[in-house]
Amino acid sequence: MITKLYDALQQLIWGTTLTKLGLPGRVVVVALRYLYAMLRDFFSGQLTMRAMSLVYTTLLSVVPLLAFSFAILKGFGIFNELEPYLAEVLAPLGEQGTEIANQILTLVENVKGSVLGGLGLTVFLYTAITTVQKVEESFNYVWYVSKPRSFARRFTEYMVVLLVGPLLMVTAIGILTSIQSVTVVQYILNNEALGPVVVLAGKMVPYLLISGVFTFLYMFMPNTRVNFTSALAGGIAGGFIWATVGAIFTTFVLYASRRLEIYAGFAVAITTLIWLYLNWLILLIGAQLAFYHQNPAFLRIGRQEPRLSNSMRERVALNVMFHIGNAFRNPGETITAGEISERTKIPQIALTPIISALEEAGLVMSTEHEKLLPGREMCRTRLADILDVVRMRGETGSLREPHWSGSVRKLGGALDNAVDEIVGERTLSDLLDEQDDNPKSDA
């Protein structure tokens, strides 16, 4: 019975029954497919586990991160204006949220320049950077990216985020403050008809800021190119979920306050941990939605590790070298693993092991900005060397010298000789010279 119900559900979601009903049916199908994919990923446990890991990381880094970022804001003289926005973010915690917000502001207010000097500054920077690194690893997991940023790129880009983030907040708050002081806005606020509408819109500002932050993180954090529309879709969905869960959590805290009294002073810590966990989980769910929006083909299969046949691995290796060599030949053009993935329609998670093997063999090299270049002159890169990477490398342990039977050894040698005869002394340069005029055949 369960199997039949599951098959019927699969047919309903992925079949054409609902799509035949016109626009309403197509909308329902899309909603069901995203809901199915998100519930499948949620119950797999990976998102929840990574959210819990980020909670632990947050506890260790919250003081350095806030002190570092808010110290910059103090320099712009808007530190006190952050209190209502911080209180809005922590509003689901109820009275405890107000208490925590006040403690955070007091803590940052007490941070002096001498604390951030010398060794203290080094520790703060290290903690802040490692925290952002943990977030990047979680986002890379969602986006099927197995290779993180290089250390130099990670350090520079993370520092830009830590420095530019507060500046953007300064700009946003400044714009909101200036708008509120405009005479026309004041007139509208005093208007009986339009005033409540503007006030309601003002209350939506924190949620819009949350959606904006989510969108920025979805575009910047993964070590791959994310379309703005996909990041925006995930950011809006994440902001909506955050607002909804926040309202539910506020009700939970209100009705569970009596039961939490048995924890005494630990009640604040417990509710804070739960709220932190929910925030990280919502952030990762929004990232997963952004990924599916950009890669709808994964909605059905989910996170299944691609398994390539030997024949496919050989063609992938040749195609990777082809695209790298072709980009190198064109002045001013570069290519990354993500761009190769887009051109070949092969998930980057399947390309990474092959590219890494090509790097180890010296056939490919990567720059600090993850650009891929030929590891040697293309006229000296034999196609046999490329095939050798995926055909002959990768064995470990006792498999390096197995005991073949005579007939198997003879057949294997004949197969190797056949490959050598086919590719001969042809090089990557020869392969590029032979490419067809039709670009689609080379994609």
Tell me what pLDDT residue 290 has: 93
How much of the chain is in helix, strand and coil states, percent to nearest 5?
75, 0, 20
My answer on whether 355 and 328 are in the same domain is yes
What angle, rounded to 10 degrees, do the helices at 337-344 and 310-329 form?
A: 120
Q: What is the pLDDT of residue 217?
A: 87
The C-alpha atoms of residue 303 and residue 234 are separated, in whole angstroms, by: 18
Q: Tell me which residue of 85, 165, 190, 68 sits closest to 120, measured CA to CA.
A: 68
DSSP 78: -
> Quick one: 46 exposed, middle or buried, by C-beta within 10 A (0-12, 13-18, 19+)?
middle
CA separation for the pair 91, 85 (Å, rounded) = 10
% of the chain residues with pLDDT over 90:
10
- Please write the tens of the pLDDT for every residue from 162-198: 666 666 655 655 555 555 555 555 555 566 666 566 5
Q: 148: closest CA among 56, 45, 221?
A: 221
**292 and 221 fall within a common domain:** yes
Residue 442's pLDDT is 47
What are 50-80's pLDDT values in tens digits?
998 888 887 777 666 666 666 666 666 655 5
d(CA 279, CA 246): 9
Domain assignment of residue 139, yes or no: yes
Residue finishing a domain among 300, 319, 345: 300
Q: What is the pLDDT of residue 286?
A: 93
Q: What is the mean pLDDT of residues 147-174?
A: 66
Contact present, 66 and 107 (Cβ < 8 Å): yes
pLDDT in tens, 98-110: 777 777 667 666 6
**Which region among 17-21, 114-118, 433-437 has the lowest average model confidence (pLDDT)?**
114-118
Q: What is the pTM of this model?
A: 0.69
Whether residue 355 sits in one domain with residue 244: no
pLDDT at 134: 85
CATH number of the domain that residue 421 is part of? 1.10.10.10
**Which residues neighbour 123 within 8 Å (Cβ) at sequence distance 6 or greater?**
64
Closest CA to 62 of 111, 96, 95: 111
Q: Are residues 80 and 208 located together in one domain of the fold?
A: yes
Q: Which residue has the higher pLDDT, 203 or 392?
A: 392
Whether residues 33 and 117 fall in one domain: no
Q: Residue 368: its pLDDT value, please? A: 72
Number of neighbours of residue 402 by Cβ within 10 angstroms: 9
CB 335 within 8 A of CB 374: no
244 and 108 share one domain: yes
Per-residue pLDDT tens for 79-95?
555 666 666 666 666 66
Average pLDDT, stretch 195-223?
A: 75
- Residue 147 pLDDT greater than 70, yes or no: yes
What is the count of structural domains for the chain?
3
Quick one: pLDDT at residue 180? 52
Give the CA distances from residue 99 to residues 80, 106, 201, in Å, rounded to whole numbers and listed in that order. 16, 11, 26
Do 191 and 142 belong to one domain? Answer: yes
Residue 54 inside a domain? The answer is yes
Give the pLDDT confidence of 382-418 residue by residue, as tens digits. Answer: 888 898 888 776 555 545 566 778 888 888 888 888 8
Residue 158 CB partners (closer than 8 Å, separation 6+): 128, 129, 132, 133
* 323 and 229 together in one domain: no
- Least confident range of 101-110, 268-277, 284-293, 410-419: 101-110
**Position 440 pLDDT exceeds 80:** no
Phi-psi region of 334 (alpha: psi -120 to 50; beta: other; left: phi over 0): beta
187 domain residue, yes or no:
yes
- Structural domain for 217, as ranges: 46-300
pLDDT tens-digit readout, 215-256? 988 988 888 888 899 999 999 999 889 888 887 887 777 676
DSSP-assigned beta bridge partners for residue 427 = 382
Q: Rounded mean pLDDT of 431-439?
A: 67
User: 89: buried, middle or exposed (CB in 10 Å: 19+, 13-18, 0-12)?
Assistant: middle
Amino acid at 56: Y
Does residue 112 register a pLDDT over 60? no
- The residue that leads in pLDDT, 265 or 429, is 429
Q: Residue 421 phi/psi, 5° resolution?
A: -70, -35
Q: pLDDT at residue 267 above 70? A: no
At residue 443, the pLDDT reads 42
Q: Answer yes or no: are the C-beta atoms of 355 and 364 closer than 8 Å.
A: yes
pLDDT value of residue 289: 94
321 in the same domain as 296 = no
pLDDT of amino acid 320? 92
